[in-house]
């Protein structure tokens, strides 16, 4: 008769095994929290509050770079773009914003129309004036154009209107007339240069990014949950370590 092999006893999950397993699972999250904490502790020395983020991926995480393609048009010598509610003149981000409808160039002036406002700039593209809803014939503005007399025409939900030379008055026009309406195009070729402009003017420091990384906010709900779970793991490891210490003694 063959001798029966003795069965191997299953190892019990004692404090030592739990301590080792939990430590192995949460080693990387713990390292992440410690490294980011040290960086925040010495952010002034490292200059993290002065260094700007130039990563397109990170800026997209902060919704600083839109996912959709921009729309572009030309008015005189200017290239006008609208992207995610932001306005650009020759890759320069304007302080004004809105959904771009179009733009026209008059002698010495650039006029940009959004769906709810109209902005006036000088020949160098510097801000001059803003016409809000109360100063316009109607909103939303659907398109903007220019006639042979360099008068600005607006097509709105209420019809076709022509503005006075100083934009202080307007009149309703019946029919199209001789108007050169401005049109928008999808600016896939201009997207890279506009993204570069956003990266240069984002104003996000590495200190902000590391703070959000340390708290888990950079990764959304998953990141915050992981930070909470890692904090709980530290408590468990501490309690198991204390138990093992007293068990030895």
Tokens of 219: 């990764």
Q: What is the largest CA-CA distance in the chain?
A: 114
Exposure of 171 by Cβ count < 10 A (0-12 exposed, 13-18 middle, 19+ buried)? Answer: exposed
* Mean pLDDT of successive 10-residue stretches along the chain, which has 249 residues: 56 66 74 85 88 83 88 96 96 95 96 97 94 93 94 93 90 83 95 90 84 84 82 78 70
pLDDT at 1: 47
Are 152 and 165 in contact by the 8 Å Cβ rule? The answer is no
Q: 117: Cβ–Cβ under 8 A, 6 or more apart, which residues?
A: 96, 98, 130, 131, 132, 133, 136
Report which of 113, 131, 111, 108 is spatially closest to residue 71, judged by C-alpha positions.
Answer: 113
| Distance in Å from the first CA to the final CA of the chain | 48
Tokens of 165: 């030379």
pLDDT at 176: 67
């Amino acid at each position: 008769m063959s001798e029966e092999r003795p069965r191997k006893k299953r190892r019990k999950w004692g404090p030592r095994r739990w301590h080792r397993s939990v430590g192995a699972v949460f080693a990387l999250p713990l390292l992440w929290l410690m490294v980011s904490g040290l960086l925040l502790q010495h952010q002034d020395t490292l200059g993290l509050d002065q260094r700007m983020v130039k990563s397109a991926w990170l800026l997209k995480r902060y919704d600083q770079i839109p996912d959709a393609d921009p729309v572009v048009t030309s008015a005189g010598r200017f290239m006008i773009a609208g992207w995610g509610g932001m306005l650009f003149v020759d890759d320069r981000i304007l302080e004004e914003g809105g959904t771009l409808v179009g733009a026209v160039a008059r002698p010495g002036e650039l006029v940009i129309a959004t769906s709810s406002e109209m902005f006036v700039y000088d020949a160098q593209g510097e801000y001059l004036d803003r016409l809000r809803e109360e100063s316009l014939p109607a909103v939303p503005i659907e398109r903007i154009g220019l006639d042979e007399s360099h008068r600005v025409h607006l097509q709105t939900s209420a019809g076709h209107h022509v503005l006075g030379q100083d934009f202080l008055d307007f009149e309703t026009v019946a029919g199209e007339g001789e108007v050169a309406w401005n049109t928008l195009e999808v600016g896939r070729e201009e997207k890279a240069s506009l993204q570069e402009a956003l990266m240069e003017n984002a104003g996000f420091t590495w200190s902000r990014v590391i703070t959000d990384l340390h708290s888990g906010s950079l990764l959304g709900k998953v990141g915050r949950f992981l930070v909470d779970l890692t904090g709980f793991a530290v408590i468990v490891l501490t309690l198991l370590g204390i138990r093992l210490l007293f068990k030895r003694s």
